[in-house]
């Protein structure tokens, strides 16, 4: 083995021992390989996307520079390694400048192995050498200037560009998407390798066995979150898959839920989430047939729904077969709920119920009801949804079991979901220091509830 061959082999073995397989890849021939170098970005490094609406994105990682090399027979005694340098986010002008700097480093170290020197320069000095600072300007494919990427803007002709400088993107590829996807993947890789203490079971787990709520950055082990998600989905509370940290309102993403629960559980979660969204749409009802339950769009000011799946025509109010202008029929079991609905309704709501069911049916329901005076003396209406609430014990911070909104029993003001007790702790509040006013005489029951008692 010649001195050059021995030096080449020693250099490759040394690099393989220093860098992992993601950074240094040696070909089977032994005389060539690839080096992937991720640059060390300064804190709070940003990408600036210029266009009709300029936006900034924080990133911690950018795709690596790729140095492909091959040793000539007389390296390192006489010749430099043959190489190409490629990047997804640098321009060819910038890559050309790096290639020429690598040539200069070879001239300074001729006769010695140079790959490690090249790698150190590219990894640690590229940003300073090229004068790159935050924010780094990127042209997205969706920008107003058209489908462009990190294009050359120096005005240099192609003959002045080094043929060894390779830009890995084309006009049909959105470089911003690639950069953000790479940054997210690398951050997940770093997270997976760290150790975190679960805020529920207090066990120390690797990030790969943990779940991160991105909005609040709270971390819990996957085992605890899996059980938590399963219970909430089983109970139909798909809108409550939030961070378990008290007063935290960060929500788990559908992809995080899918990662932890079974296929059937996720299908139920997905269905209930869609249904809850449809429930908020005033012009959507569901087919009352148990075998169908298809969502049905209803025309404004119409009480007739026609299911697009089973073609069943029904009344959108009582959910029975469509009965034209006739009043909705009500069963004996439904009288009680009709009575409660009528008593708690506004004047406009009462007129609507009288028109829907007829005054005779309404009168019958009310005659069997509790005295309206008793309701007035003993109940209050939730300020958010109007549900009648009776309170006989607990503090004056109330939680409506119908809409789950918090309110003050004294002034009936809506309370903050994050810190409902601030209403009673604020000196400027009319209910300051009155959280437990009258508690000794009361017990809380019925529709109202206090989640802290």
**What is the rounded radius of gyration, in angstroms, for the C-alpha atoms of the chain?**
34
SS3 196: strand
Burial of residue 441 (CB within 10 Å: 0-12, 13-18, 19+) is exposed
Q: What is the DSSP letter of 116?
A: H
Please indicate whether residue 395 is annotated as part of the active site: yes
Q: For residues 93 and 102, give the distance between their C-alpha atoms in angstroms, rounded to a whole number.
A: 14
- Residue partners of 217: CB distance under 8 A and separation at least 6: none
**Separation of alpha carbons 320 and 7, rounded Å:** 89
Residue whose pair of structure tokens reads 């192609």 in the numeric block = 158
Cβ-contact 208, 192 below 8 angstroms: yes
Tell me the C-alpha distance between 435 and 421, whole Å. Answer: 8
Q: Of 307, 395, 400, 431, which is the active-site residue? A: 395
Q: Angle 272-273-275 (CA atoms, 0-180°, nearest 5)? A: 60
Catalytic residues: 395
């Amino acid at each position: 083995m010649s001195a050059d061959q021995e030096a080449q082999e020693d250099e490759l073995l040394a690099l393989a021992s220093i860098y992992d397989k993601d950074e240094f890849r040696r070909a089977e021939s032994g005389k060539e390989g690839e080096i992937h170098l991720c640059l060390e970005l300064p804190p709070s490094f940003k990408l600036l996307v210029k266009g009709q609406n300029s936006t900034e994105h924080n990133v911690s990682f950018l795709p690596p520079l790729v140095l492909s090399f091959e040793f000539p027979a007389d390296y390192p005694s006489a010749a430099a390694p043959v190489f190409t340098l490629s990047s997804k986010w640098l321009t060819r002008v910038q890559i050309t400048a790096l290639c020429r700097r690598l040539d200069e480093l070879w001239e300074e170290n001729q006769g010695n192995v140079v790959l490690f020197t090249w790698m150190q320069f590219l990894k640690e000095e590229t940003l300073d050498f090229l004068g790159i600072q935050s924010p780094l300007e990127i042209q997205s494919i969706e920008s107003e200037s058209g489908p462009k990427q990190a294009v050359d803007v120096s005005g240099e002709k192609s003959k002045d560009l080094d043929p060894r400088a390779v830009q890995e993107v084309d006009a049909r590829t959105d470089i911003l998407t690639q950069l953000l996807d790479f940054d997210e993947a690398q951050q997940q890789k770093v997270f997976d390798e760290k150790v975190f203490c679960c805020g529920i079971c207090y066990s120390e787990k690797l990030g790969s066995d943990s779940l991160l709520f991105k909005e609040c950055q709270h971390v819990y082990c996957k085992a605890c979150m899996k059980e938590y998600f399963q219970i909430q989905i089983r109970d139909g509370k798909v809108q409550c898959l939030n961070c378990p940290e008290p007063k935290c309102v960060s929500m788990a993403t559908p992809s995080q839920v899918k990662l932890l629960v079974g296929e059937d559980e996720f299908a139920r979660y997905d269905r209930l989430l869609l249904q809850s969204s449809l429930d908020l749409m005033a012009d959507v009802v569901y087919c009352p047939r148990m075998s169908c339950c298809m969502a049905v769009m209803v025309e404004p000011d119409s009480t007739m729904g026609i299911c697009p799946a089973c073609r069943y025509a029904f009344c959108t109010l009582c959910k029975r077969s469509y009965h034209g202008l006739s009043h909705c029929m009500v069963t004996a079991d439904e009288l009680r709920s009709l009575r409660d609905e009528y008593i708690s309704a506004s004047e406009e709501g009462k007129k609507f119920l009288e028109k829907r069911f007829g005054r005779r049916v309404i009168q019958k329901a009310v005659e069997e009801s509790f005295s309206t005076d008793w309701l007035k003396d003993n109940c209050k209406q939730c300020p958010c949804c109007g549900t009648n609430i009776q309170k006989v014990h607990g503090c004056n911070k109330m939680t409506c079991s119908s809409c789950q909104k918090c309110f003050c029993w004294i002034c009936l003001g809506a309370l903050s979901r994050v810190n409902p007790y601030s209403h009673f702790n604020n000196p400027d509040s009319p209910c300051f220091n009155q959280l437990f006013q009258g508690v000794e005489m009361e017990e809380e029951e019925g529709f109202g509830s206090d989640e802290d008692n």
